[in-house]
Amino acid sequence: MKDKSIELLEKIAASKQGGGEKRIEAQHKKGKLTARERIDVLLDEGSFEEIGGLVTHRSTNFGLDKTKFLGDGVITGYGTINNRLIYVYSQDFTVLGGSLAEAHAQKICNIMDLAMKNGAPIIGLNDSGGARIQEGVVSLGGYADIFYRNTLASGVVPQLSAILGPCAGGAVYSPALTDFILMTKNTSYMFVTGPNVVKTVTNEEVTAEELGGAETHMMKSGVTHFACENELETLNHLKKILSYIPQNCEEKVEHLPYQFNNEDRKDLDDIIPENPNHPYDIKSVINGLIDQDSFLEIQENFAENIVIGFARIAGRSIGIIANQPAVLAGVLDVNASVKGARFVRFCDAFNIPLLVLEDVPGFLPGTDQEWNGIISNGAKLLFAFSEATVPRITVITRKAYGGAYDVMNSKHIGADMNFAWPSAEIAVMGAKGAAEIIFKKEIAGAADPKAKWEEKEKEYAELFANPYNAAARGYIDEVILPHKTREKLIKAFKMTENKKVNLPKKKHSNIPL
């Protein structure tokens, strides 16, 4: 028995060596941690339990029978983050470039199955050269096995992906199917086809960083939700995200302790400019409403005309969707609509209440928007709000014009509570444009058309550029002073915390993708 025990300990030690000291050193020289070091940083100390550490591939093609490593290039198992059960896989670039094939994929699928059965989040730490070409179609089959499980797990348990190295070809689609993607600047990239293929096919000269680096996907494509400075920041961001979301779709986020005090926020009274055409930063409103330093913004540098993220109000985790008047006047366009819609659907899937801060002059006009599908993309945001059954509260701070008023969580599409500030303007369009249409003939026939236009603009504004017509019809539950908003929100979220909605029976909806 002693010899057998020694043999086991030797195998375990060998599996923990990955691809060996030279490859580990090369990993460190690139500014990257090893697969095991990442797990050690991510999980609570001493909590990781490895599964499948002695797995090896079964291929004999192209000399692979002479190149076997215990674990087959991915470390899988479970542990805790802040004492919460988490399943994790961490690809090991020091072993065959972290390439994915049959055994590697089976290990990942195994922990995904366990996560589904036990209702706990899945975190994938991706660092792979892609499919293991020597194993042929079984590598492709392995990817598809993972994709299928990503889809089954979607909306059941949270799925988070950290891209900590290369992620190319078919490898990108598993992260794309998960809830949140985090990338590390300068050491990670994602693309379907690399720079060499791009050059061959389109004759474009582009670097891997330009094509699919963290900042590219943060600012241009919106593929990634967070672009972090280094791996430690990325791993800590994963922990932070988890603090706002539950274990699974059957649970709610635990409330942090909170002592109710004087919740007036006098600074909010001075945020909205006197001139309704002047911009302001909606984040100053957000920070005035939420618990101090609790806002975690998502996709900060993409579609900046809408702001999304997690926060807490009186210790309660919420999702925030807010128009940003400081960027494009806060209009809804293709990217903003999709960004907002996906976040709404995530929060609804995992029982996270929604707060909508509205200051929207409408949808962005122009051929570019129309030809890129603003109709179907705007409908995604409308669909997401309409379908959401979590508590939904809207605060109209200033403009709520046209169809965008309907889309931004109006009473008509199922919002629970709708508040407006006295500065709110709820109308089909702005007074200037409305006056030009309604009084066109009268203005044209006037001795002083400009003066007549200004007169009629003022007349329209007094009638419609306020929250009181909507309040008179019950579309607005209450017009409130800005400094009272936090108190109102705390009470409203408390009031709606046991909300239940029974949707019509169906197989699934058909959101306008």
Catalytic residue numbers, as ranges: 169-170, 403-404
From CA 414, how far away is CA 395, in angstroms rounded?
14
Tell me the two tokens of residue 206.
């582009």
**Integer Rg of the chain from CA:** 26
Angle (CA) 137 142 144, round 5°: 95
Query: Are 43 and 94 within 8 A, CB to CB?
Result: no
Polymer length in residues for the chain: 513
Q: Contact 228/234 with Cβ under 8 angstroms?
A: yes
Angstrom CA distances, 149 to 71, 88, 297, 493, 497, stand at 21, 14, 28, 34, 31
Among 342, 335, 336, smallest CA distance to 319 is for 342
The DSSP secondary structure of 278-314, one letter per residue, reads: S---HHHHHHHHSSTT--EEESTTSSTTEEEEEEEET
Angle CA(267)–CA(269)–CA(275) in degrees, nearest 5? 120
Cα–Cα distance, 187 to 231 (Å, whole number): 9
The answer to whether 296 and 285 have CB atoms below 8 angstroms apart is: no
Separation of alpha carbons 236 and 231, rounded Å: 9
DSSP calls for 105-163: HHHHHHHHHHHHHHT--EEEEE----B-GGGTHHHHHHHHHHHHHHHHHTTTS-EEEEE
